[in-house]
Amino acid sequence: MKTEIIAVGSELLTPDFQDTNSLFLTERLNSVGLDVAFKTIVGDDEGDLARVIRTALGRSRLILLMGGLGPTEDDRTRETLAKVLGARLIFKAAILRHIRARFRRRGLDMPATNRKQCYAIEGAEVLANPHGTAPGLWLERGKNRLAVLPGPPRELRPMVENHVLPRLAALGRGRMVRRTIRLTGIGESLMESLIKPVYASVPKAVRVTTLAAPGDLAITLTYRGPASLSEAQAVIEGLESALLKALRRWVYSRNGEGLEAVVGALLKKEGRTVACAESCTGGLVGHRLTAVPGSSAYFLESAVVYGNAAKVRRLGVPPALIDKHGAVSAAVARAMAAGVRSTAGADFGLAVTGIAGPDGGTARKPVGLVYTALAHAGGVAVRRDIFYGGRAMVRFQASQKALDVLRRFLLKADMD
Amino acid sequence: MKTEIIAVGSELLTPDFQDTNSLFLTERLNSVGLDVAFKTIVGDDEGDLARVIRTALGRSRLILLMGGLGPTEDDRTRETLAKVLGARLIFKAAILRHIRARFRRRGLDMPATNRKQCYAIEGAEVLANPHGTAPGLWLERGKNRLAVLPGPPRELRPMVENHVLPRLAALGRGRMVRRTIRLTGIGESLMESLIKPVYASVPKAVRVTTLAAPGDLAITLTYRGPASLSEAQAVIEGLESALLKALRRWVYSRNGEGLEAVVGALLKKEGRTVACAESCTGGLVGHRLTAVPGSSAYFLESAVVYGNAAKVRRLGVPPALIDKHGAVSAAVARAMAAGVRSTAGADFGLAVTGIAGPDGGTARKPVGLVYTALAHAGGVAVRRDIFYGGRAMVRFQASQKALDVLRRFLLKADMD
C-alpha cells in the first residue's frame, strides 16, 4: 500500500520554515510496518492543493494530510478536500460545543472565525482534538484511506497516537525493527571508513542510514520483512555488534537517546550531582541537562558567567589568572570547574569557555577554540578542541563535548 | 509560472533525514522573483520517481530535480527522467575526462561504477560540477524547464549560483517584496479576529501568511507583481501599518528578527546590562540572549539556580520565603530578580521560576505555572502565567515571556 504525507501551508514553501511533522509521522507509520512513498508540500492556494489531493488519490492508498485546519481565511484543507471528493461539509454541533468550552475555560467567548472549524466532511469520522480547536477527520473512500490532521505538533501527535495509529495498525504488513546508535567525538569520514567492512554483511531486508551533524552522528539499522520479532531483532543485534566493535569508543547511546539523557541516567544511577560553569555556551549545557524530566535529582545549578566579573565573583576565578592567560584558556577553564564544584557543593564541576564567533578570534586563539574542564574529587581534567562552523554550531559542539567528558568519566572511560 | 522542487532519495522518507536543500533553493528562486508552488520528496524506487516526474511535467513549468545522480545502483534520476521524456542517454567523453581527472588528483583510478555518470540526456546542456563527479543538466522541453542537480549541498550550491540562477533570472517575472512581523503574548484566534478587517483590503498581488507557535506568532506579507520596487514597498508598508494598528501591543519585530535580537538591540542602544536568574528554563534565557553575536556588551551572566540551595546561596533568596511560598511563587521570583540584579551589579535582573512538567504540578500550582520577575532601579515587577503544552513548550514560552517583559519595560510599554 503506497503511503503519502501531504503538508499544507504556504510558510512551508518559504526559505524559513520546514515541515518537521512528517518525521514524527514517518516514525509512527514505520512502527506499524508502513513505509512512506511520497511526501508533498503545498501552499494555501486552493487550486494547487486540489491538484495535489487529486494526484495523491490516484497514486497512494493511504494519505495523511496535515495543516490548514485553523480558523483563518487561508486555512482551506477541509473545504478543498470536500470539493475534490464531491462531498458536502456538515455542521457538527458537538464540535461547536467542544470549541466553545475550550474558550470558556479561559474566560473567553469563541470568536466567530472559529465557526468554520465546526464543519466535517460528509461520511468522515471526527477525530477528537483535546489540545486544540480543529478536530481531525478519518475517511474511507473506495481504495483510499485519508487522515486529515491539524498542523500544530501538540495537537497532531496525540491525535496520531490515539486515533490514527489504531486504524493504521490493521493496514500495515510485515515487521519493522529499528535501532539507532549515536556517536560523538568522531567525524563522518572516519566513521564511514571504519564501518565499510560491515556494509558487506548487511542483508537485503536491512537498510543502514547514517545521519551526521557536527558533534553528533547517528547510524540507524532498519529491518523490514516477514521475519518474526525475535528473528528480526537477532538480525539487527548481529549488525549492531559488528558496528559497536568498530566504533565503541565513540558510541554514547544504543537506543537513540540524546547525550543529556544518557549523562543524566548515569548521574542518577551513581547518586552524584553536577554543577556547571558556562561561558561561551551561555546556558546551553544547563538547558540540555534540565531538558530531561527529573533532572533536579542530579543537576544543582549552572553559573552562566559570561563576563569576567561574574567568573571572579561567582566562582572565585583569580583575576590574575584571567589577566595572564585570558578568559579562554586551560587555566581559567580549570578554575571555573573547580570553583563551581566547591561553591555549589556538587560532586562534579563542569566548565566550558571558548570563542563562539563570529568575532573575537585571533591567530593564536581562533574562533571555535573551546576548553572543557571537569572537576571531581580527585582533581581537574581539561581538554582543548577547535570546532568548526558558525556560532550556533560551535556552541552546540562545545555543549556536546562537555557532556561527553562527564559521560566518559562516569564510565571510567578515557578522556579521548 | 508554477515552480516545483523534487528531492530524490529514500533516506528523505525516513524519520531521521530531511531535505534541507530546498530551503536554499527556495531562497535563491525567490531572489529572482520565482515562488515555489510544490515540493515533492520521493525515494529511489524507479516507478515512484517516474510518476512524480510525470505529475510535475503536467502541473509545473519549472522543475528542479535534486539527488540520485551518484554512482551507486540506487541512483536512478538521470535514467528515469530520460525514460519519462522518451529521450536517449548519450555518452559524453568530456564528463569522463573530468571524473578521471578528479580521481587522478587524489592518486586514484576512476572506479567502474562512476561510468554511469558520464551519460547526459539527449538535448540537455551539461552543467559543470567542480566540486564532485556528477554533472548537472539543464533541459527545455516544450513548456517545461528542468534543472537536474546533485544532492550534496557543496556541489548543489555553486551549481545553482553559477549555472541555474543565470538561466532562471530570464524566466522570473515581476518583483517580490516580503516583510515579516512577529508577535508574542497573543493567541492565534485573537490575532486572527483582530486582523480580519485588514484581509478585505489586501490586493491580489499580496499574499498574507501566518505562522503560529505557542508564544510566537508571525505574519508574512509577500508582494509579487509587476510594480517597481518603491511601489511594491509602498503596498507592503500600507498593509503593515494596518496590521500594526490592530496588533501593535503584541508586535516585537517588524523585520523577522527573533526576540533575543530585539531585546539585545534595545539594551545596547540604552547602554544597559542584564543578568538572569533561571529555574525552570534551565539556562534557555541566557542561551537565547547569548545567541546574538556581540551580546557580551549587555549580558553579564545567568544564575541557573535549579535547586533551592542555589537560590539561597547565589542570590540571597531567604530560605523562609521558599518555605512559606514555595520555590514557584511570586515572592521567590521577585527575590530571585532582585538578588541577581544586586549580586551581578546589572541594570536589570530577570528571573523565571515555574513548573515545566511533566511531574511536579498540583491543583493550586499546575504544570505550566510560571512566574516572571523584572528587577530594575525603580523596583520589581512580577507576572504570573499558565502555559500549556509539554516540558519543552512550557520552557520556551517561559523564556519568551521573560524576554518580552524586558522588551516592554525598555520600550516603556505596559506589562501586559
Tell if the CB–CB gap between B24 and A37 is shorter than 8 Å: no
Considering only the beta carbons, identify the residue of A39, A112, A310 that sits closest to B41: A39
**If you compute the radius of gyration of chain B from its CA atoms, what whole number of angstroms results?**
28
pLDDT at B355 (0 to 100): 96
**Chain B CA closest to residue A302:** B304
DSSP B115: G
Classify the C-alpha dihedral B9-B11-B12-B14 as positive or negative.
Answer: positive
Average pLDDT rounded to a whole number, residues B204-215: 85
pLDDT at B415 (0 to 100): 45
Task: Copy the grid coordinates of residue A268.
Answer: 542518577
pLDDT at B413 (0 to 100): 58
User: 506579507: which residue's cell?
Assistant: B221
Task: Copy the grid coordinates of residue B326.
Answer: 514555595
- The residue among B8, B23, B32, B41 with the most chain A CBs within 10 A of its CB, best to mutate, is B41
> pLDDT tens for residues B320-335?
999 999 999 999 999 9
How are beta strands A175-183 and A216-225 bridged, if at all? antiparallel
d(CA B4, nearest CA chain A) in Å = 10
Tell if the CB–CB gap between B211 and A17 is shorter than 8 Å: yes
Scanning B162-191 for CB atoms below 8 A from A yields: 180, 188-190
pLDDT at A416 (0 to 100): 44
Three-state DSSP class for B413? coil
Residue B92 confidence class, pLDDT cut points 50, 70, 90: very high
B235 touches chain A (CB under 8 A): no
Contact B263, B289 (CB under 8 A): yes
The C-alpha atoms of residue B182 and residue B252 are separated, in whole angstroms, by: 6
**Over 90: is that where the pLDDT of B165 sits?**
no
**Over 70: is that where the pLDDT of B382 sits?**
yes
Q: How many CB atoms lie within 10 A of CB A392?
A: 12
- Which domains are assigned to chain B? 3-169 (3.40.980.10), 175-253 (3.30.70.2860), 259-410 (3.90.950.20)
pLDDT at A413 (0 to 100): 59
Considering only the beta carbons, identify the residue of B12, B208, B301 that sits closest to A306: B301
Confirm whether the ipTM is greater than 0.95: no
Residue B72 confidence class, pLDDT cut points 50, 70, 90: confident
DSSP B296: G
Average pLDDT rounded to a whole number, residues B30-53: 92
Instruction: Indicate the residue type of A245.
Output: K
Burial of B361-383, coded b for 16+ CB within 10 Å and e otherwise, reads eeeeeebbbbbbbbbbeeebbbb
Give A207's Cβ-side CA count (13 Å radius).
17
Instruction: Output A321 or B44, whichever has higher pLDDT.
Output: A321
Contact A377, B311 (CB under 8 A): no
pLDDT at A172 (0 to 100): 61
Contact A233, A408 (CB under 8 A): no
**Over 50: is that where the pLDDT of B408 sits?**
yes
List the single range of A158-162, B62-66, B73-77 with lowest mean pLDDT: B73-77
Residue B172 confidence class, pLDDT cut points 50, 70, 90: low
Q: How many CB atoms lie within 10 A of CB A359?
A: 11
A278 touches chain B (CB under 8 A): yes
pLDDT at B412 (0 to 100): 85
Tell if the CB–CB gap between A40 and B45 is shorter than 8 Å: no
Considering only the beta carbons, identify the residue of A41, A113, A222 that sits closest to B192: A113
Task: Copy the grid coordinates of residue B36.
Answer: 515555489
Task: Copy the grid coordinates of residue A228.
Answer: 518474526
Those residues whose C-beta lies under 8 Å from the C-beta of residue A27, and which sit 6 or more positions away, are B15
User: 542584564: which residue's cell?
Assistant: B274
> pLDDT tens for residues A238-273?
999 999 999 999 999 998 899 999 999 999 999 999
B197 touches chain A (CB under 8 A): no
| Bond preceding residue B358 cis, omega within 30 of 0 | yes
User: In sequence order, what DSSP letters do the residues of B123-173 get, joined into one string?
Assistant: TPEEEP-TTSS--EEEEEETTEEEEEE-SSHHHHHHHIIIIIHHHHHTT--
Q: Helix/strand/coil (H, E, C) string of chain A? A: CCEEEEEECHHHHCCCCCCCHHHHHHHHHHHCCCCCCEEEEECCCHHHHHHHHHHHHHHCCEEEEECCCCCCCCCCHHHHHHHHHCCCEEECHHHHHHHHHHHHHCCCCCCHHHHHHHEEECCCEEECCCCCCCCEEEEEECCEEEEEECCCHHHHHHHHHHHHHHHHHCCCCCEEEEEEEEECCCCHHHHHHHHHHHHCCCCCCEEEEEEEECCEEEEEEEEEECCCHHHHHHHHHHHHHHHHHHHHHHEEECCCCCHHHHHHHHHHHHCCCEEEEECCCCCHHHHHHCCCCCHHHCEEEEEEECCHHHHHHHHCCCHHHHHHHCCCCHHHHHHHHHHHHHHHCCCEEEEEEECCCCCCCCCCCCCCEEEEEEEECCEEEEEEEECCCCHHHHHHHHHHHHHHHHHHHHCCCCCC
Measured in Å, how far apart are chain A's first and last C-alpha atoms?
48
pLDDT at A173 (0 to 100): 64
pLDDT at B173 (0 to 100): 64
Which residue, among A308, A294, A290, A278, has the nearest Cα to A373 in the 3D structure? A278
The C-alpha atoms of residue A254 and residue A248 are separated, in whole angstroms, by: 10
pLDDT at B8 (0 to 100): 96
The C-alpha atoms of residue B128 and residue A245 are separated, in whole angstroms, by: 41
Which residue, among A332, A413, A409, A414, has the nearest Cα to A378 in the 3D structure? A409
B326 touches chain A (CB under 8 A): no
Q: How many CB atoms lie within 10 A of CB A104?
A: 11
**Over 90: is that where the pLDDT of B107 sits?**
no
Contact B148, B160 (CB under 8 A): no
Considering only the beta carbons, identify the residue of B14, B283, B344 that sits closest to A286: B283
pLDDT at B416 (0 to 100): 44
B111 exposed, middle or buried (CB, 10 Å; 0-12, 13-18, 19+)? Answer: exposed
Tell if the CB–CB gap between A301 and B289 is shorter than 8 Å: no
Helix axes A330-344, A308-315, angle to 10 degrees: 40
Dihedral, CA atoms, B401, B407, B409, B412, nearest 10 degrees? -130
Tell if the CB–CB gap between B190 and A111 is shorter than 8 Å: yes
Instruction: Indicate the residue type of B267.
Output: L
Q: How many CB atoms lie within 10 A of CB A31?
A: 16
Give CA separation, A131 vs A9, A151, B74, B119, B357, in Å.
20, 12, 42, 53, 16
**Each residue's pLDDT tens digit in chain A (416 positions)?**
799 999 999 989 988 788 989 999 998 888 787 889 999 999 999 999 999 999 999 999 999 999 999 988 889 999 999 999 999 999 999 999 999 998 888 788 998 889 999 999 999 999 999 889 999 999 999 999 999 999 998 899 999 989 998 888 777 666 778 888 999 999 877 888 888 888 888 998 898 877 777 899 988 888 888 888 899 999 999 999 999 999 999 999 998 899 999 999 999 999 999 999 999 999 999 999 999 999 999 999 999 999 999 999 999 999 999 999 999 999 999 999 999 999 999 999 999 999 999 888 999 999 999 999 999 999 999 999 999 878 988 999 999 999 999 999 999 854 44
Three-state DSSP class for B19? coil
- Residues of chain B with pLDDT > 90, as a percent, come to 71
Contact B304, B278 (CB under 8 A): yes
Q: How many CB atoms lie within 10 A of CB A59?
A: 17
Scanning B332-361 for CB atoms below 8 A from A yields: 343-345, 357-359
B297 touches chain A (CB under 8 A): no
**Over 50: is that where the pLDDT of B146 sits?**
yes
Average pLDDT, chain B: 92
Instruction: Indicate the residue type of A402.
Output: A
**Chain A CA closest to residue B41:** A39
Instruction: Indicate the residue type of B164.
Output: V
- The residue among A301, A312, A342 with the most chain B CBs within 10 A of its CB, best to mutate, is A301
Q: How many CB atoms lie within 10 A of CB B157?
A: 16
| Bond preceding residue B111 cis, omega within 30 of 0 | no
The C-alpha atoms of residue B394 and residue A235 are separated, in whole angstroms, by: 41
Give CA separation, A108 vs A294, B364, B365, in Å.
35, 21, 22
Considering only the beta carbons, identify the residue of B24, B48, B199 that sits closest to A38: B48
User: 563576563: which residue's cell?
Assistant: A307
pLDDT at A273 (0 to 100): 98
Q: How many CB atoms lie within 10 A of CB B186?
A: 18
Contact A165, A64 (CB under 8 A): no
